[in-house]
Amino acid sequence: KLIFGEGLLKGEVLETVEGGNRLIRFSYEGDSIFPVLEQIGNMPLPPYITEKLQDNERYQTVYSHELGSAAAPTAGLHFTNELLDKIKAKGVKVATVTLHVGLGTFRPVKEDEITDHKMHSEHYYLPQETADLINQTKANGGRVIAVGTTSCRTLETLGTKQGLPLHTEEGYTDIFIYPGYQFKVLDGLITNFHLPESTLIMLVSAFAGYEHTMAAYDLAVKEKYRFFSFGDAMLIVNDADKQ
């Protein structure tokens, strides 16, 4: 049994499940666990961020509004409200999806065969207005560009399940995208530079191609680009005519 915050939150380990994880039943006073977590918890940060945040909003995107993720979708950290206004002024349409990022996204692949690696399930939600905009963009020959691997995984989950046109849906996904995967929705991706041996760099390699991805990472190392959460971003565009 576990006790947090002088008894404000209690947990009982029920069993050890796949991957050495624990299934825990929590108990607390009140209707929701979130106020308790706000009171006694800390913002979950990657291990390479060693300084405790004085302002939790520093590790949020400007468009975040749903509780649930274990980490920020870091490609979105590059965007300010002013930058989004400039993008919209150029005629680019902006829409949102929800994916509650789980810790499994950031775990390294330890299996010899990548097909043996199991992704944790993450909750997603696609609003109908976003589905309509994607369908309209595709029909008009435009490009759908995802900000971050989380947005990518949400859209590709729905593209795999539904095909085009898309419609609103809520559910869980454990999609694992690696080279050989055929993209259903994406035409472009904005993403940070990720950890080696991660599922995220495999996703990027699936979209950009392994050789192009490794060349980009070689250049990033040579030019001393910043990696990880508050690092540099890259834009990858799939040009079907030029491959």
Q: What tokens appear for 161 in the block?
A: 């399940």
Can you give the pLDDT at residue 169? 97
For residue 38, tell me if it sits in a domain.
no
For residue 25, tell me if it sits in a domain.
no
Can you give the pTM of this predicted structure?
A: 0.84
For residue 5, tell me if it sits in a domain.
no
> Looking at the predicted structure, is the pLDDT value of residue 117 above 90?
no
Q: Taking the CA of residue 224 as centre, how many other CA atoms within 13 Å lie in the half-sphere pointing to its CB? A: 0
Can you give the pLDDT at residue 242? 41
Model pLDDT for residues 40-70, shown as the tens digit of each residue: 988 777 777 788 777 877 888 999 888 888 7
Share of the chain above pLDDT 90, in %: 61
Mean pLDDT of the chain: 88
For residue 43, tell me if it sits in a domain.
no
For residue 36, tell me if it sits in a domain.
no
Residues 6+ apart with CB under 8 A from 3: 9, 10, 11
CATH of the domain at 97: 3.40.1780.10
State the Cα–Cα distance between residues 133 and 203, nearest whole angstrom: 24
Model pLDDT for residues 135-166, shown as the tens digit of each residue: 999 999 999 999 999 899 999 999 999 999 99
For residue 87, tell me if it sits in a domain.
yes
Model pLDDT for residues 176-231, shown as the tens digit of each residue: 999 999 999 999 999 999 888 788 899 999 999 999 999 999 999 999 999 888 88
State the Cα–Cα distance between residues 69 and 120, nearest whole angstrom: 13
For residue 221, tell me if it sits in a domain.
yes
Q: Domain range spanning residue 182?
A: 64-237
Tally of domains in the chain:
1
For residue 4, tell me if it sits in a domain.
no
Q: How far is CA 33 from CA 8, 14, 37, 186, in A?
A: 10, 19, 6, 36
Asked if 101 contacts 73 with a C-beta cutoff of 8 angstroms, the reply is yes
What single letter denotes the amino acid at residue 129?
E
DSSP 3-state assignment of 49? coil
Q: What tokens appear for 128 in the block?
A: 């109908």
